Structure 1
Amino acid sequence: MIYFKLPFNEKLYTTNQKPGTDHVNFYSFDGLRQLSFEGDFIEADPVQFEQVIITNESVKKDDSRFNPESKDEYLQTLQEVIEVIKENELPKIVLSRRKIFKNFNHIDYKESFKNMCQAYPNAFRYLFNDGENAWMGAFSEVLGKFNKNTHEFETMSLAGTLPVSEDWSKKEIEEQQPVSSYIRNILETYAENIEVSETYDHISGNIKHLRTDFKVTIQPEDLDTIIHELHPTPAVCGIPKDFCKKNIQQFEKFPREFYAGYIKIETDDTVQYFVNLRCAKLYQDSVHVFVGGGITTQSNPEKEWTETELKSEAVLKNLVIS
């Protein structure tokens, strides 16, 4: 089963499990895994949803044997990543970690999902359990949105993170600009005229990001290729893409799985692609929260750790536990 809400839309959706169609698809960060939910997506019956019991007993036990990184381990890895960036004169590499939460007896995942929906109305919010995998997330970064009628394609450059009350520094600006350049260079291959917004603050709960919007008109047959070229963007990987992906595999203690991958949602009129950030893998006896940040030569390891702690609150503060 899967339940989800679209950004700025409080209608609850699910799929009708109709064989032969799959309009909701999850793709892993490395592109090697795809998880599809059969059927068209339909509006869920609120009464029926209230009768659904989604507790930690309804998901698998954690047999991953993963041990979370300590703060000291993560700070040491960050320092090593900064050295690689300096040696290779890279704009940025994105490093992530898992924060594993086990301090509970019981979790009501349905109520936790409701909390996330209320906390992040501008995000794509989802909860699913297919028997093998159970995940929950809420995130507002759009990899792409295509209008089948007008052929307009929209995407965004979203990078740099600070608490809402703090002012932007050189580090965040240097982190976001290469993402914008990367997206522009790809879109110029497929369109002559690109509409680009001013860079502005994008608020997400207790943190903010720098955001720039892009809009072009493309040929429908180019859509899949554009998405393939955009993913993973520098906001979740780094520049150059292949070099950074290789280093991510070397430095990160755990595989990312569906974290920093993307979700494709298709209707009769649109195809939307959401980056899977602020998410967690759910178990009976633990919650694996995925968090990360863009590392540059300006990065301070202590501040980067604090940033990941802030990002983990998107999931952890909304859990209904006992």
Structure 2
Amino acid sequence: MINTTASNQSKQITLLQNYQKGDFLLASPKQMILGKGVFANVHMLNSHGIIEQMKQSLNQAKLTGHARPIVMGAIPFDFSESPKLVIPKEISTAAPLEVKKQVEWRKASSSTFEIKAVPDPEVYMEGVRKGLKAIDTDHIQKIVLSRSLHITSAERIDTHQLLKNLAYSNKTGYTFAVDVSLNEQKDTEPRTLIGASPELLVSKTGQKIVANPLAGSRPRCKDPLEDEQQAKELLESAKDLHEHAVVVDAVKKSLQEYCLELHVPTTPSIIKTEAMWHLSTEINGILKDPHVTSIELAMALHPTPAICGFPTEAARNTIQEIEPFDRGFFTGMVGWCDEAGDGEWIVTIRCAEICGRNLQLFAGAGIVTGSKPEDELAETAAKFGTMLQGLGI
């Protein structure tokens, strides 16, 4: 377990300031953690067998002199693709970020840029129609369909400033940055996965675990009365409550076999980010076996219906037929696991990949019976807002 000893604001901001491209950073409501340098890479061609490989890597690092080995990094949506995991040389932690106002907020991109939607809006809405047809004919209850924005800035994107902007405006969520450059990449331009996710996949501390699935969303409004009405409609929406229940039920079933106790609220609550309202259910449990690791729990849950659909395989196959791009690390997970098995894994949403002047944003929406293509398009547009605001676009 990581012991966070510093709770003063100066150390929190220092960790954020000390981030450099190539580092791992995760700022969560529990703590901020920064990993620098590479003590060892966790080499894997795909994510199958990842639990044993991570245990072996942690044991080997301990034997070769690492005082506190922790595996950190990102795992893709598709387990057949390669994860990006390392054991950093240096690990620093601090209490959760507590900044009462946005400090040092500046634009992170040029004022001149090009944006290309992939797919374009009409094609995305046609994909939603195909998803609804699959629900009607293929016994799928839910499918999550996503789209992306490709942004080219006239100048290099300031990854560090973007990370700070996201962290200062996302103190109740999970801000992250992970180097996802290919190991064999010869050029010097790193590729960074960066985001501000509202969703905890699972965390483990000793025998205690927490999962916090989100499903069912509404865009925020600038007008306070309209914003309050959006939240009220979300809590009363039969379509969104059904979508949420599908996700919570799947998470509950996945965790039950691991737990002595599992508390699942009967009705969802509501949470907000800068851009969205979400239906939320916090699930708490006590493990039967304290040696079960956070990564084992995360792999048992992934992919939840919140980012894939249900039933999983049917939804995943339909996603591959409809979406015109490879998700990569989007809707995968980002996090860490230490030698005791404790850790924290976040659903990789509200995110982008950055390489030099190029940035690819991602956003998705859950499709169920009753979904409307134009509403799902609007939802993805609102979800892009988290990253676009961080960039200053």
Identify the TM-score tier after normalising by the shorter chain: 0.7 to 0.9
Q: Which residue of 2 aligns with 1:136?
A: 194
Contact in 2 for aligned 1:16/1:41 (Cα 8 Å) = no
1:15 maps onto 2:65 in alignment = no
After TM superposition, list the pairs within 5 Å mapping 1:200-239 onto structure 2: 200-218=269-287, 219-223=289-293, 224-239=295-310
- Name 2:75's counterpart in structure 1: 27
Aligned counterpart in structure 2 of residue 260 of structure 1, from 313, 326, 331: 331
TM score, norm. by length of structure 2: 0.71
Match of 2:208 among 125, 149, 152: 152
Residue range with higher mean Cα deviation, 211-220 or 123-132: 123-132
| 2:239 match | 171
Give 1:264 deviation, angstroms. 2.7
Relative to structure 2, which stretch is displaced further, 121-130 or 180-189? 121-130
Give 1:103 deviation, angstroms: 4.9
Partner of 1:60: none
Q: Decide whether the 8 Å contact of 2:26 with 2:177 is kept in 1.
A: no
Offset at residue 113 of structure 1 (A):
1.2
Cα distance between partner residues in 1 of 2:158 and 2:371? 37
Distance 2:245 2:29 in 1: 27
**Structure 1 residues 272 and 310: CA distance shift in structure 2, 3 A:** same
Structure 1 CA distance, aligned partners of 2:382 and 2:192? 23
- 2:247 is paired with a residue of what secondary structure? helix
**Residues 1:225 and 1:127: Cα distance change in structure 2 (over 3 Å):** closer
User: Residue 85 of structure 2 aligns with which residue?
Assistant: 36
Separation in 2, partners of 1:109, 1:268: 30
Q: Which residue of 1 aligns with 2:383?
A: 311
Deviations 1:214-239 (A, max 9, x none): 11111134445432221000000011
Runs of 5+ in structure 2 lacking a partner? 1-21, 41-60, 62-68, 95-107, 110-115, 182-188, 221-226
Structure 1 equivalent of residue 314 of structure 2: 243
Q: Which residue of the partner structure matches residue 294 of structure 1? A: 366
Residue 127 of structure 2: aligned partner: 77
Q: Give aligned-pair identity as a percent.
A: 23
Q: CA deviation at 1:159?
A: 0.5
Q: Is the 8 A contact 2:330 2:349 kept in 1?
A: yes
Q: Which moved more, 1:304-313 or 1:100-109?
A: 100-109
How much has 1:43 moved relative to structure 2? Answer: 4.2
Q: What is the alpha-carbon distance in structure 1 between the residues aligned to residue 146 and residue 272 of structure 2?
A: 21
- Ranked by relative contact order (alpha carbons within 8 Å, sequence separation 6 or more), the top structure is 1
Helix, strand or coil: the match of 1:89? Answer: coil
CA contact (8 A) 1:126 1:136 kept: yes
Deviation at 1:67, TM superposition (A): 6.9
> What amino acid maps onto 1:2 in structure 2?
D
- Cα separation, 2, equivalents of 1:67 and 1:302: 16
Q: Is the 8 A contact 1:17 1:38 kept in 2?
A: yes
CA contact (8 A) 1:201 1:211 kept: yes
Amino acid at match of 1:15: K
Query: What secondary structure is seen at the aligned counterpart in 2 of 1:220?
Result: coil
Equivalent residue of 1:297, what SS?
Answer: coil
The number of residue pairs the alignment matches comes to 301
Instruction: Measure how far apart 1:133 and its partner are.
Output: 2.5
Which residue of the partner structure matches residue 51 of structure 2?
none
Corresponding residue for residue 190 of structure 1: 258
Q: After TM superposition, where is structure 1 displaced by more than 6 Å over at least 4 residues in a row?
A: none
